[in-house]
Amino acid sequence: MLDVMNSTSGAARHLDGFEATVKDFWASRPRRPSDGRKIAGVAAGIGTRYGIDPIVIRVALVALTFFGGVGPAVYLLGWLFLPGQDDEVSAFEGLLGHGRSGTSRAGAVVLCALCFPAFGLAFGGTWFDGGGIIALALVVTALYLMHRSRGHLNRPPARGPVTAAMSTAKGTPVDTTSDDWDALGADPLGWDLADHTAPPADPYRPPEAPEPPRPRRSRGGSKITLVTLALAVVTAGVGTAFVDGESWQPGHVAATTLAVLAGGLLFGAFRGGARGLIWFAAPVAVATLMLSPWPAGGYPGGVGAIKETPTNFRELQPSYERTAGTIELDLTQLPERDEPISVEASVGTGDITVFVPLTADVTFDCTARTGNAECLNRSQGGVGNGNLVGRDNGADGEDGQRFHLVLDAGIGNVEVRRHA
């Protein structure tokens, strides 16, 4: 009965206005459960508190990591300010000595320190200017709306180092005329007293049969999925039509489509459905990550493979380009000359391999934006890589044929090898 009263009173209290909603949110914060957590239980706690599948919360945090970069920062804040299931206070409050927390003070200090690089990553600049601020505003708005509509659900029991009845100092005058005064020092709502106005129960009356469980109603989850997918397809199609390779690129199309899918997941979380969108949002998020570092001009040149071994300078092209495919150049058969031999090659999705003579003096500018670059004496790999610039004169010093290579792959590998 007490839980029902608390839920009812909470539901009425959190609808009074913005200030009351914020205060009630803090007073009834989600608690990070001990079971069902992946890291610290932030997503599981929020999902349980507001009756939302924790998977949706986790997907939203991942999407916020790609769009705006605030996902890690938001998770750290939840770890700091949401208490554990059996804790009196949160990790940050425990650090200040306001009660007992399952997170040690050293752990709380580490979490506070991690917030600085996390927020620096979010607000240090992304592909979309101001994306971190917009994403953080979306998080605050979503929490506010969730608490206004679902704040009365699953309200956690109040815990603290001291109770309200014991917090009054000895000798402090008490207003006995107020409605809140309790002579016994206990909450009257917690008294489970018998109702003497109700008629006595008939001992010979058979107990009533339990009410059969009601079938779960479909809340339109499938409709949300279909509508969101249709909007995502339209967004991707229209966005692709406006790609100009400069101000609007394939990475922008993927990110906009991901935003539509994320909106459908968020709306479905309130309506009770649309979990199937996760299977579409995941590959779109991967595509967004891969396409975001593409250059403004894109990668022209068509699709296919280029494999050439020029034997004179008439056969050697100054640049080789492919949108998707492979480029393999063997420069070991070229005759020597006094001027440096300059070669450029670029591919959007695929690999670039260049062979140079054993004694060649090579300066290179290799870029594998998503992938690996191994250019003679230097290498790097990963996502969002920059230029790999260097020089290698071979084993014989600076007396060999001179080459200058500029190689660029959007998604793929770049490799420069020596060959006899």
189-207 confidence digits (pLDDT tens): 555 555 555 555 555 566 6
The residue that leads in pLDDT, 139 or 335, is 335
326-360 confidence digits (pLDDT tens): 999 999 999 988 889 999 999 988 899 999 999 89
User: Which residue do the tokens 């690999």 mark?
Assistant: 351
Confidence band for 262, pLDDT divided at 50, 70 and 90 = confident
Confidence band for 308, pLDDT divided at 50, 70 and 90 = very high
Q: What is the dihedral of CA 403, 407, 412, 416, to 10 degrees?
A: 10
Would you give the DSSP letter of residue 315?
A: T
Nearest to 245 by CA among 289, 301, 306: 301
Cα 228 to Cα 69: distance, rounded to the nearest angstrom: 23
Mean pLDDT of 249-260: 79
**Mean pLDDT over all residues of the chain?**
76
Percent of the chain with pLDDT over 70: 72
Cα 349 to Cα 346: distance, rounded to the nearest angstrom: 9
Is the pLDDT score of 228 beyond 50? yes
115-138 confidence digits (pLDDT tens): 777 776 666 544 444 456 777 778
Is the pLDDT score of 8 beyond 50? no
Return phi, psi of residue 164, to 5°: -65, -35
Residue 195 has a CB neighbour count (10 Å cut-off) of 5
Q: What is the DSSP annotation of 25-37?
A: HHHT---B-SSS-
Cα 242 to Cα 289: distance, rounded to the nearest angstrom: 20
Confidence band for 62, pLDDT divided at 50, 70 and 90 = confident
Would you give the DSSP letter of residue 275?
A: G
Q: What is the DSSP annotation of 354-420?
A: EEE-TT-EEEEEEEEEEEEEEETTEEEEEES---EEEEE--TT-S-S-EEEEEEEEEES-EEEEE--
Confidence band for 246, pLDDT divided at 50, 70 and 90 = low
Q: What is the CA radius of gyration of the chain?
A: 32
